Amino acid sequence: MATDSINSQQPGLNQEQALQYATRHPKLRGEIAEMAFLLKAARLGLCVSKPYGDSRAYDFVVDSGTRFWRVQVKSTHQPRGKGYSLTVQHFTSQGSPHYTPEEIDMLVGYVVPADAWYILPLDAFLPRRQLRLYPNGGRRGSGRFEAYKEAWHLLT
């Protein structure tokens, strides 16, 4: 029997079930956001490398042609009021929750339901641990970080 015939007979998850599964598993959510970043960046002509292992604070190295950027990718799925909360902290062996310039150069936030990307230099958000993003508007002034929405030019 052909492989396609075998695969088509196996039960699978519909799109809604798959989304529910992914949103319950934080590690899987992060992996999906990283895959989405890789695809988006590649489509924009950026050269992206994934370091082997999980021992660094950054997820990717982006080669702009003039420099290398260490990029950490974060995502959010659940709306909070008219916006979304994005957690922008991590915990090192020393217990520091903040990313530092020695660890990463850019943080990329992905608002999954809005398919919106935020390219954030560290000085734009430190020392915050949570960001409020408004990809669909809904707030007077559109929020503090809306200037970084789809700011892919910052990685060139």
Neighbours of 12 (CB within 10 A): 8
DSSP code for 75: E
pLDDT tens-place string over residues 88-102: 988 665 666 888 999
pLDDT in tens, 36-80: 999 999 999 999 999 998 888 999 999 988 999 999 999 998 888
Give the model confidence (pLDDT) of 102-123 as tens digits: 999 999 999 999 999 999 999 9
| Dist CA 115 CA 47 (whole Å) | 21
Give the global pTM: 0.82
